[in-house]
Amino acid sequence: MRKIAVLGSTGSIGTQALSVIREHGDLQVEALTCRGNLSLLEEQIREFRPKTVCVGDEKAAMELKGRIGDLSGMKICFGREGLIEAAAETDADLVLTAIVGMVGVEPTIHAIEAGKDIALANKETLVTAGHIIMPLAKEKGVKILPVDSEHSAIFQCLQGNEGNRIKKILLTASGGPFFGKTRKELERVTLEDALKHPNWSMGKKITVDSSTMVNKGLEVLEATHLFGVTLREIQVVIQPKSIIHSMVEYEDGAVMAQLGTPDMRLPIQYALYYPARLSLSGDRLDFRVLKEITFDEPDEETFPGLSFAREAGEKGGNMPTIFNAANEYAVGRFLEGRISFLQIYEMIRSAMDNVPFKNEAALNDILETEQETYEYLRNAKVS
Ligand code: NDP
Ligand code: MG
């Protein structure tokens, strides 16, 4: 039986992955991790019986021990070291990285070093450390299987086309809940408005990222690493209903697309069972009902998330980390109700302009830059 570790099992991707695993019943769950949602983790432990679990800190580990004292033989760990252990030191063949944020970088690197295939949802990891992760995966002969719906779509469009050069990636975007709004209107949008994504139900951080278009920026950078294309070879296309999940144009002008109803279980399942296509319950596209698919261009002036990302990617070095860490920090403050929507952009801009740039971006530089960015934004007066 194939074995899997699920990092971030209590989140949006994590719970959907466990529902896929439950449905097919032929994957052994070796490890589960979360930060603090112990009641859901406890249920998952009782159902899937992992050998290792990891939680955010020691206090949570003690509490979990109290809750599941009757399950002997299961290892409970916590924090950074614990996450690395859950990712790299179990018998899993495949690790699903469904934690949110740069905290995923180190466990992912350790899992690859241990020879495990990666089903990658955690985009912040590739954005900041893709230049380390992709060559390492190649060297170790491990697969990086994309879970992000757009990247899964691109990956599906590449099947059978090995050896054919990608002319262009057409990365689709819904545009988020604020597409069409002016900057003036954005001054008044609230957290509640930002959390209402038109098509997808996701974790809070990525939902806010979708409303700023930073998510699409992160995805553009993620795609450069996954598919070895340049920034210029990626075009973002607004497709408000999220029916086309992305497309690849080849040298002969052929455009391959992957379509489907917006359901993350499909890309999750494809990554877990690649290259097999197993059955999946749920709605199907009905073109008699759909009638039309419309397209638009992104408004990069009003929503600069995408242009910040491109700028960070062009500059290289530690700039994608500054961009990503500043966004993680700003979105955290926005979710706490401490800054306005437009201040997310101000914080990112200010960090990209002021945190020291380094050409070098080895792992320690990335982690140092993350801390420097947080430190800078904690002290900066961004209004
Ligand atoms: P959620 O916020 O729903 O879940 C995050 C998971 O990570 C939870 O299990 C959470 O634990 C855990 N976690 C959060 N912070 C930490 C931390 N500091 N240390 C350890 N564990 C932590 O996120 P999503 O599932 O929405 O997203 C996960 C990743 O997948 C993100 O990188 C996102 O960009 C990407 N992604 C998500 C999509 C989606 O549809 N949701 C689509 C495409 C990509 P706890 O519950 O205990 O807090
Ligand atoms: Mg996506």
Token pair belonging to 233: 């070879």
Q: Which amino acid residue places its CA nearest to atom 26 of ligand 1?
A: 203
Please state, in angstroms and rounded to a whole number, the distance separating the CA atoms of residues 270 and 147: 8
Q: Are 330 and 344 in contact (CB under 8 A)?
A: yes
How remote is the CA of residue 207 from the centroid of ligand 2, in Å?
A: 10
**pLDDT score at 382:** 65
**pLDDT score at 381:** 73
Per-residue 3-state assignment (H helix, E strand, C coil) for 267-308: HHHHHHHCCCCCCCCCCCCCHHHHCCCCCECCCCCCCCHHHH
Which of 6, 7, 9, 12 for a ligand 1 pocket mutation test, highest count of atoms within 8 Å of Cβ?
A: 12
How remote is the CA of residue 13 from the centroid of ligand 1, in Å?
A: 7
- Average model confidence (pLDDT) for the chain? 97
283's CB contacts (< 8 A; 6+ apart) are: 261, 263
How remote is the CA of residue 161 from the centroid of ligand 1, in Å?
A: 32
- Whose atoms come closest to the Cα of 217: which ligand? 2
**pLDDT score at 69:** 82
**pLDDT score at 71:** 75
Token pair belonging to 192: 């509640």
Q: Which atom of ligand 1 is nearest to the CA of 16?
A: 25
How remote is the CA of residue 252 from the centroid of ligand 1, in Å?
A: 39
User: Each residue's pLDDT tens digit in the chain (383 positions)?
Assistant: 999 999 999 999 999 999 999 999 999 999 999 999 999 999 999 999 999 999 999 999 999 999 998 676 899 999 999 999 999 999 999 999 999 999 999 999 999 999 999 999 999 999 999 999 999 999 999 999 999 999 999 999 999 999 999 999 999 999 999 999 999 999 999 999 999 988 888 999 999 999 999 999 999 999 999 999 999 999 999 999 999 999 999 999 999 999 999 999 999 999 999 999 999 999 999 999 999 999 999 999 999 999 999 999 999 999 999 999 999 999 999 999 999 999 999 999 999 999 999 999 999 999 999 999 999 999 997 64
How remote is the CA of residue 211 from the centroid of ligand 1, in Å?
A: 17
CB atoms within 5 A of ion ligand 2 belong to: 148-150
For residue 213, which of 243, 176, 185 has the smallest C-alpha distance?
A: 176
Q: Are 324 and 126 in contact (CB under 8 A)?
A: no
Q: Are 323 and 309 in contact (CB under 8 A)?
A: yes
Q: Which atom of ligand 1 is nearest to the CA of 204?
A: 2
Q: Which amino acid residue places its CA nearest to atom 19 of ligand 1?
A: 35
**pLDDT score at 383:** 47
Token pair belonging to 363: 């792992």
Length of the chain in residues, anyone? 383
Which burial class, exposed, middle or buried, applies to 333 when counting CB atoms under 10 A from its CB (0-12, 13-18, 19+)?
middle
Q: Are 128 and 320 in contact (CB under 8 A)?
A: yes
Per-residue 3-state assignment (H helix, E strand, C coil) for 218-232: HHHHHHHHHHCCCHH
- Whose atoms come closest to the Cα of 264: which ligand? 1
pTM, 2 dp: 0.98
Q: Which amino acid residue places its CA nearest to atom 36 of ligand 1?
A: 121
In the chain, domain spans = 2-146, 151-315
For residue 15, which of 194, 265, 208, 185 has the smallest C-alpha distance?
A: 265
How remote is the CA of residue 202 from the centroid of ligand 1, in Å?
A: 9
Residue 50, preceding bond cis, omega within 30 degrees?
A: no
**pLDDT score at 37:** 98
Token pair belonging to 111: 């899992």
∠ at Cα 56 (70, 343), nearest 5°? Answer: 150
Please state, in angstroms and rounded to a whole number, the distance separating the CA atoms of residues 242 and 197: 11
**pLDDT score at 321:** 98
Q: Which atom of ligand 1 is nearest to the CA of 218?
A: 34
- The CATH class of 2-146 is alpha beta
Furthest-apart CA atoms within the chain: distance in Å: 62
Ligand 1: residues with CB < 6 A are: 8-14, 34-37, 56, 98-100, 103, 121-124, 148, 200, 202-203, 205-206, 264
